[in-house]
Amino acid sequence: MIYNCFEQVAHVSEAFPLEPGDVATGTPGGVGALRQPFLDGLLKVGDVVTIWGQGIGTLGNAVSMSPTGTSRLRSTRGMGALTHELREFLDSNPVCVLATLAPDGKARQSLVHYSREGDRLLISTLDDRFKARDNRRTRWASLCVMGHQPPYPSATFSGPAEILTENIGAPTAAIAQRITRAAEPPDPLSDRALAEAGRVILAIDVDRGTPANYIPEATRQAQI
């Protein structure tokens, strides 16, 4: 066993909640995001994941396209809209720590500004930055948001992610407004102008949110 049980449970819990009675299966060495050298072998729309347990049976899950345009397993639990309290928390704190996975499987973190569109979190970055390159490889990201006034509330959010290069003028302007705290966003740039500057949008479709402390108890107990 390369990773102990505690490490595996912590890693899997970033994608979906584990409950008593869940069965975890192993995989061959060098698969998925940790494969060296990395090959584009991640799940895509149309793939079927089938697992078999002796004395239990076979379970198959097809990968489909969500309404947001991101592929995911139909059976994924913990999906749903952010609570009102978490939306307010996100909207009132413009800075977060973004985490992506490096090719060696270790977390890579950076401080970024973001904006929110529904349950989607948007980050402006350069196309050649590690965060963008990591996302193109793993199609996943997580971020941690912390309030900067006592009692310093915090929450983490994660989910499937993608790099956007079209219709990103307005989101980029919205992020700039949060950075400058201006009353109005600047005039949006065209996709062509942003492409010439090397800018893209990293978009995270939140399918899990975990209030860490000092968030209303009703929100803490909600399954997001």
- Over the stretch 57-112, which tens digit does the pLDDT of each residue have? 777 777 765 554 444 433 233 444 478 888 888 999 999 999 999 998 888 999 99
Domains of the chain: 5-73 (no CATH), 84-221 (2.30.110.10)
pLDDT in tens, 14-66: 666 777 777 766 665 555 555 555 555 566 666 777 777 777 777 777 776 55
Taking the model in full, what pTM does it have? 0.62
> For the sheet containing 57-65, what is the strand order?
48-53, 57-65, 71-73
Looking at the DSSP assignment, which residues form a beta bridge with residue 125? Answer: 200
Q: Which two tokens stand for residue 78?
A: 């913990």
Q: In 3D, which of 55, 71, 172 has the Cα closest to residue 123? A: 172
Phi, psi of 74 (to 5 degrees): -60, -30
